[in-house]
Amino acid sequence: MMKRFRIRERFLYQYRFIMLKAGSIGVFDSGYGGLTILSEIQSLMPEYDYCYLGDNSRAPYGSRSFDIVYEFTRQAVLRLFEMGCNLVVLACNTASAKALRTIQQKDLPLLINTDKRVLGVIRPTAEIVGSITKSRHVGILGTTGTIQSESYPIEINKLFPDIQVTGEACPMWAPLVENREYQNEGADYFIKKNLDNILSKDPQIDTLILGCTHYPLLLDKIKSFLPDSVTALAQGEYVARSLQNYLYRHPDMEAVCTKNAATGYFTTESPQKFSEAATIFLNKKIDAERITLE
Ligand code: DGL
């Protein structure tokens, strides 16, 4: 009797995940950082279902080569599609900078179901910056990969050619978050060093874009080292609004996004480790499931 009950429980548990995943909006990041984007999306559009995937076992992506970031991101996107997502948001600047365009132009046209879509975080952030900066001098803080790709200056200058964009790679910041060392004093050294660097490269900067989804977790420390004249801009809110706008403009996609207000969390590392960390980042208890990518 007890055994039959357990089998039934297990079936219902798996069925719940299968039901949850089909029609969910996929949200992908190398690790925990994308949770800062997911929570903004969830608070703007709580009615939809989401499927978060963190490739924690291979994070950080920031210092990896173009080919590797593309390959890892492609695997994650295809996996989310397999799980039933029709729309995937790359809640990762490094993946958006190094993989989005190739996935959109090369991989999506090869799929049998050509209605699947992938969106990134750089364009929605570039779109907003013109209405925020007054000095027209903007700084980008990001991973080495994001800064080297020049994606931000390219996207911003397409929309606002008058804005001068300066980048600063902060290779230690995402690992500080990923290893949950971001509130410790050790973090201060690296944060201050990179902020001093970028402001000495261009002292007229009045807006600093946090161009990595891990960085909002460092926001309090970042603000404590910035002069009042400089605004640190986290992108989650703008990405969420841009997604809402996208769904409004694409009713066919909106119609295939399910609405049970449920979220599934998936990681390529230990689910227990992920649940503990995600609970801290999201301020609520969550359960995670492990999946493999290849
Ligand atoms: N959170 C990611 C980003 O927005 C990547 C951080 C990393 O894996 O290095 O760039």
Q: According to the model, what pLDDT value does residue 106 have?
A: 95
**Which ligand 1 atom is the nearest neighbour of the CA of 97?**
10
Q: What is the rounded average pLDDT for all residues in the chain?
A: 93
pLDDT in tens, 3-38: 554 555 555 545 555 556 789 999 999 999 999 999
Q: According to the model, what pLDDT value does residue 113 have?
A: 72
pLDDT in tens, 236-272: 999 999 999 999 999 999 999 999 999 999 999 999 9
CATH architecture of 123-234: 3-Layer(aba) Sandwich (3.40)
Q: According to the model, what pLDDT value does residue 114 have?
A: 76
Any idea which residues carry the catalytic annotation?
A: 92, 212
- Specify the CATH number for 2-120+238-290; select among 3.40.50.300, 1.10.287.110, 3.40.50.1860, 3.90.1170.50: 3.40.50.1860
Calculate how far, in angstroms, residue 30's C-alpha sits from the geometric centre of ligand 1. 6
Q: According to the model, what pLDDT value does residue 170 have?
A: 98
Minimum CA distance residue for ligand 1 atom 8:
60
Pairing state between β 137-142 and 207-210:
parallel
pTM for this one? Answer: 0.92
- For tokens 């050790």, the residue is 186
pLDDT in tens, 274-283: 999 998 889 8
Q: According to the model, what pLDDT value does residue 283 have?
A: 87
H or E, element range at 49: none
**Which ligand 1 atom is the nearest neighbour of the CA of 92?**
4
Q: Among residues 141, 193, 202, which one has the least CA distance to residue 167? A: 141
**Which ligand 1 atom is the nearest neighbour of the CA of 61?**
8
* Integer Cα distance of 215 and 235 in angstroms: 10
> Does ligand 1 lie within 6 Å of residue 62's CB atom?
yes
Whole-angstrom CA distances from 190 to 30, 146, 174, 208, 215 are: 21, 18, 11, 16, 13
Q: According to the model, what pLDDT value does residue 14 have?
A: 52
Q: According to the model, what pLDDT value does residue 16 have?
A: 54
Q: Kindly give the parts of the chain with pLDDT less than 50.
A: 1, 5, 13
* Integer Cα distance of 87 and 108 in angstroms: 11
H or E, element range at 232: strand 231-233
Residues of the chain with CATH 3.40.50.1860: 2-120+238-290, 123-234
* Integer Cα distance of 271 and 290 in angstroms: 6
